[in-house]
Amino acid sequence: MIEGFDTAAFVAATLAEDMGQGGDITSNAVIPADARLTAVMDSRDAVVVAGLPLAEAFFRALDPDCAIETLVAEGQAVAAGADLMRISGNARALLTAERSALNTVQHLTGIATMTRAYVDAIAGTGAILLDTRKTLPGLRALEKYATRMGSATNHRMRLDDGVMIKDNHIAVAGGVEPAVRAAKAAGLAGVVVEVDRIDQIEPALAAGADRLLLDNMDVPTLKAAVALVAGRVPTEASGGVRLDTIRAIAETGVTYISVGRITQSAPAADVGLDYA
């Protein structure tokens, strides 16, 4: 369903966590075993939707015969009050799966919604929004899926998915140039190097850096860095980027802007399930 993510295992583990040893004792006591439920999942806010296929997997895990109609597409922007999904099936099963399904949709939709706001803020500049590895342990594939639904581009998924020489690597290696040369000598391609000073740029490029991550630079410094690089390699702005600052950063001419906030700080969307 989502590349690099075991949906079946996630659904099983999440339901096991929520149901415990005794299952949904409330629904089992209050709802007749053969009762039916029809409900609609809706959004109380304007959002960008993500996670509906996972919600469906939760409901079907407990009621394989339930009828589900998905009413909007993943990545679609919807208005407040929009219906997202209609579900009909065994009442006990659907009510037991409800919280796990909603938690997942709320979290992923929150990420997608914040991501789209950042993407919209840099529209027309040519800069590309990237996510980061600042994700909840075990949920990276899901959270990065949500940023894609918000129209961002995924940065590296794992430590083996790309070379990024950061400040601590540089400190231990003895400088930008020896760190880059060591990576190149190891046969690594696509070497991204973090620089936080203008005077690190030429040594990084001379050593063979394939991309520069311009870390925590203010807008005037970013402009100077982009001018100095002069298109020799792609540039990426990173560090402390906010929605109210990203447009000015994009207008410096950087190729990419990476933002940890879109996964690290996105609030959950207000999505509910109502009896229909």
Say what the pLDDT of residue 3 is. 79
Question: Is the domain of 139 the same as that of 110?
Answer: no
Question: Is the domain of 170 the same as that of 206?
Answer: yes
pLDDT tens digit sequence for 31-66: 999 999 999 999 999 999 999 999 999 999 999 999
Name which of 263, 265, 264, 271 is nearest 99 in CA terms: 271
* Residues belonging to the active site: 99, 134, 166, 194, 215
pLDDT tens digit sequence for 93-110: 999 999 999 999 999 999
Name which of 136, 110, 112, 115 is nearest 246 in CA terms: 115
Its pTM surpasses 0.85:
yes
CB atoms inside a 10 Å sphere around CB 87: 25
How far is the C-alpha of 45 from the C-alpha of 77, rounded, in Å?
11
Q: Which pLDDT band holds residue 114 (cuts at 50, 70, 90)?
A: very high
Averaged pLDDT, 153-173: 96
Averaged pLDDT, 153-179: 96
What CATH number is attached to the domain comprising 224?
3.20.20.70
Q: Helices 7-19 and 91-121, interaxial angle, to 10°?
A: 120
pLDDT of 183 strictly over 80: yes
Say what the pLDDT of residue 85 is. 98
Say what the pLDDT of residue 222 is. 98
Would you say residue 1 lies in a domain?
no
pLDDT of 235 strictly over 80: yes
pLDDT of 276 strictly over 90: no
Containing domain of residue 179, as a range?
125-264
Non-local CB neighbours of 161 within 8 Å, separated by 6+ positions: none
Say what the pLDDT of residue 4 is. 77
Q: Are β-strands 77-78 and 191-195 bridged in parallel, bridged antiparallel, or unpaired?
A: unpaired
Would you say residue 246 lies in a domain?
yes
Question: Is the domain of 172 the same as that of 183?
Answer: yes
Say what the pLDDT of residue 71 is. 98
Say what the pLDDT of residue 102 is. 98
How far is the C-alpha of 254 from the C-alpha of 235, rounded, in Å?
5
Edge to edge, what strands does the sheet with 67-70 contain? 67-70, 83-90, 36-43, 271-275
Q: How many domains would you assign to the chain?
A: 2
Phi, psi at residue 77, to the nearest 5°? Answer: -85, 130
Bridge partners, residue 69, by sequence: 86
Residue 68: helix, strand or coil by DSSP? strand
Say what the pLDDT of residue 2 is. 83
Averaged pLDDT, 175-183: 97
Would you say residue 156 lies in a domain?
yes
What CATH number is attached to the domain comprising 82?
3.90.1170.20
Tokens of 138: 């075990």
Q: Which pLDDT band holds residue 26 (cuts at 50, 70, 90)?
A: very high
Over pLDDT 70: what percentage of the chain?
Answer: 100
Question: Is the domain of 72 the same as that of 175?
Answer: no
Q: In this structure, which long-range contacts are made by residues 31-36, counting pairs with CB atoms below 8 Å and at least 24 apart in sequence?
A: 31/91, 31/92, 31/95, 32/91, 33/92, 34/90, 35/90, 35/91, 35/92, 36/88, 36/89, 36/90, 36/91
Question: Is the domain of 51 the same as that of 137?
Answer: no
In order, the DSSP letters of 102-129 are HHHHHHHHHHHHHHHHHHHHTTTS--EE
